Amino acid sequence: MLYYRVETMDIEKSETVGGYVSALFAMTYKALGLVPGVSAETLCAALKNTDSKNARILYKLMAMLGSIAQPEVYIDDKLNHYCLYTRNEFFKIMPAFEEMDEVIRVESSDMYCLIYRQLEIPDDAILYRDEEQIVISREDYEKYVVSEDFHKVAKLDDDCCELGA
């Protein structure tokens, strides 16, 4: 069965630099003129007083994507586990990824973009599963991922047609 992972890519180096969540937070802080690690109170005050359309969009996306529960196995060891979306969940939240990609490109001056990967993961590699996502180990992710095999989120509309969405 196919599962999907969204990552942030350094466009110039063609290398991934992490998942989309870290980019979402980093670009929100940048759009607000804050440094990472500020208190929640400072972040909320900055969001309340900002005129930045991009910061407001990123915050809305943070809230929306944050509603997807994180499984305990992932929370307990985020450095050694990856969450991948099921096909239905991925295409349901695809518009959020497209919007996020657009803002990330603007805020990073086209240094970063979002990509997604389709991976075929066997049942015996899945540590956790629900209707929205699965969790696999870093070791299994590295075993099944092909570094050159990715799609840019900005092209999701075209890819959806090819994928039969």
Give residue 59's pLDDT.
87
Give residue 63's pLDDT.
86
Angle of the 20-32 helix axis to the 94-107 helix axis, nearest 10: 50
pLDDT digits (tens, 9 = 90+) for 60-83: 888 888 888 899 999 999 999 999
Mean pLDDT of the 94-123 span: 94
Mean pLDDT of the 13-35 span: 90
Task: Report the C-alpha gap between 15 and 152 in whole angstroms.
Answer: 12
Asked if pLDDT for residue 159 goes beyond 80, the answer is no
Burial class (CB in 10 A: 0-12, 13-18, 19+), 36: exposed
Give residue 161's pLDDT.
37
Give residue 155's pLDDT.
61
DSSP class of residue 79 equals G
More confident residue, 163 or 98: 98
Radius of gyration of the chain from its Cα atoms, rounded to whole angstroms: 16
DSSP bridge partners of 84: 134
Q: Is 84 left (phi over 0), alpha (psi -120 to 50) or beta?
A: beta
Place 4 in a pLDDT band, splitting at 50, 70 and 90: very high
Domain boundaries, the chain: 2-163
Supply 44's token pair: 């909320």
Asked if pLDDT for residue 135 goes beyond 90, the answer is yes
